[in-house]
Amino acid sequence: MFKKIKLFFIIAETPLHPGSGGELGLVDLPIQRERYTDFPKIEASGLKGCIREAFESQLTLDKQNKQYRLLNNEVIGCLKKEFKNIEEIWREKKNGKEVENTDRDGNKLILYQQAINNIFGPEDGEAHAGALAFTDARILLFPVKSLKGVFAWITCPMVLERFKEDLRLAREIPNELNIDFSTLENTLPQQTNICIESKVVLEEYTFEVRESETTSKIAEFLSEKIFPDTNTNAPYKFWRKKLEKDLVILSNDDFTQFVKTSTEIITRTKIDNKTGTVASGALWTEEYLPQDTILYSLAMASPVRVEKEEAKGVLKGNTPEEEAKKVLEFFESGCPEVLQIGGNQTIGKGLVRIQIFK
């Protein structure tokens, strides 16, 4: 059972293609969606794999000494403050003797790699499950073109209710969200930048709206959590201010229509070098979540599941709760701020920024 849960935001810095495979519809390669709502999502398995890869990318091999080392960067610096000995060699007892653990090529592994194995599960075999799990990433805010103010972030009562319940699972129950969202349809914050005479024009649709003090408080709350005002996040001041003013709460049905029809559809081709024309069969369409889409997921930690106490390494705790807390601290301290999720990494797609809820 999970002992600790933490919510984190996923902010799309470039268009995002969490693909669901090929289909026979109008779009050849659509994105992943919830079955019964059609809301975009990112499958937990894909999210976990991307985060594991980000952790593993912090390693480099010292070929001369045949030993792995950690990169010298800000992320690892933060991690070392919490786990001071993670760069020591990973030693295990075998046949009563303590030996250095190595990979198949004889390169020495370090405690950081042991922690990755314990947190995400071993790459080979099924010796034990990982101590960290993720939920599917759910949509929270979706950017839509606005006649005034360039674009607005939209959401709906159903999405906000889900968000509140997920925060409750994480034992974070903010007063700002203890309200009935169903009364806030077609509202936006006070002194918004996108309203034209009590109307907003999103894509080609016009909505009658009203300014709401409650919506202002929700927008300020989300803005502070997604774009926190710290020295390290100073570059996001513009986006923090924009979210405070340019949030629109639509009805559930209107929100559904936008997330179904206002994603980006890109046509791609492959040119035949000999003829200079499109290669046979190499014309297809891909669907993307637009840049500035904001999703969230839950990271859920359990005690380390290995049998031997000495195999828990830097994550060993005196109680199951303490171990789960260390697992979450390892994730929070060591997760890079920017990750790549989904397909088409080589053409700049899928860059996201991770913001832990605090």
Q: Tell me the C-alpha distance between 256 and 266, whole Å.
A: 21
Rounding to the nearest 10 degrees, give the CA dihedral for residues 85, 91, 92, 96: -120
∠ CA 251-208-139, rounded to 5°: 30
Burial class (CB in 10 A: 0-12, 13-18, 19+), 251: middle
∠ CA 213-214-216, rounded to 5°: 65
CA separation (Å) from 5 to 295, 300, 345? 17, 4, 29
Which two structure tokens, joined as six digits, stand for 296? 């969230």
Map residue 237 onto helix, strand or coil: helix
Q: Which helix (H) or strand (E) holds 138?
A: strand 137-145
The string of pLDDT tens digits covering residues 266-300 is 888 888 888 887 777 778 889 999 999 999 999 99
The end-to-end CA distance of the chain, in Å, is 23
Q: Write down the pLDDT at residue 124.
A: 74
DSSP 31: B
Residue 77 reports pLDDT greater than 70: yes
* pTM for the whole structure: 0.92
Q: Write down the pLDDT at residue 174.
A: 82
Q: Cβ neighbours of residue 121 under 8 Å, at least 6 residues apart?
A: 128, 129, 130
User: Mean pLDDT across the chain, nearest whole number?
Assistant: 91
Q: Cβ neighbours of residue 127 under 8 Å, at least 6 residues apart?
A: 306
Residue 118 reports pLDDT greater than 80: yes
The string of pLDDT tens digits covering residues 2-54 is 889 999 999 999 999 988 776 667 788 899 999 999 999 999 999 999 999 99
Q: Write down the pLDDT at residue 176.
A: 81
Q: Write down the pLDDT at residue 279.
A: 79
The string of pLDDT tens digits covering residues 330-353 is 999 999 999 999 888 888 899 999
Are 115 and 83 a contacting pair, CB within 8 Å? yes
**Secondary structure (DSSP) of 198-237:** SEEEETTEEEE-EE-HHHHHHHHHHHHHHS--SGGGGGGH
Which two structure tokens, joined as six digits, stand for 312? 């828990």
Q: Which helix (H) or strand (E) holds 322?
A: helix 320-334
Considering Cα of 264, then 260, then 345, then 337, what sign does the dihedral take?
A: positive
Q: Cβ neighbours of residue 315 under 8 Å, at least 6 residues apart?
A: 115, 118, 119, 131, 304, 323, 326, 327, 330
Q: Tell me the C-alpha distance between 218 and 220, whole Å.
A: 5
The string of pLDDT tens digits covering residues 191-209 is 998 999 999 999 999 999 9
Give the CA diameter of the chain.
79
Residue 232 reports pLDDT greater than 80: no
Q: Write down the pLDDT at residue 231.
A: 67
Q: Write down the pLDDT at residue 188.
A: 95
Percentage of the residues of the chain whose pLDDT score is greater than 90: 65
Q: Tell me the C-alpha distance between 97 and 85, whole Å.
A: 22
Q: What is the mean pLDDT of residues 141-165?
A: 96
Q: What is the mean pLDDT of residues 94-103?
A: 86
Q: How many residues does the chain have?
A: 358
Q: Tell me the C-alpha distance between 250 and 269, whole Å.
A: 37
Q: Write down the pLDDT at residue 19.
A: 86
217 or 96, which is more confident: 217
Q: Tell me the C-alpha distance between 196 and 163, whole Å.
A: 29
Strands 264-271 and 205-208: unpaired
**Nearest-CA neighbor of 111 among 73, 81, 69?**
69
Beta bridge mates, 29: 286
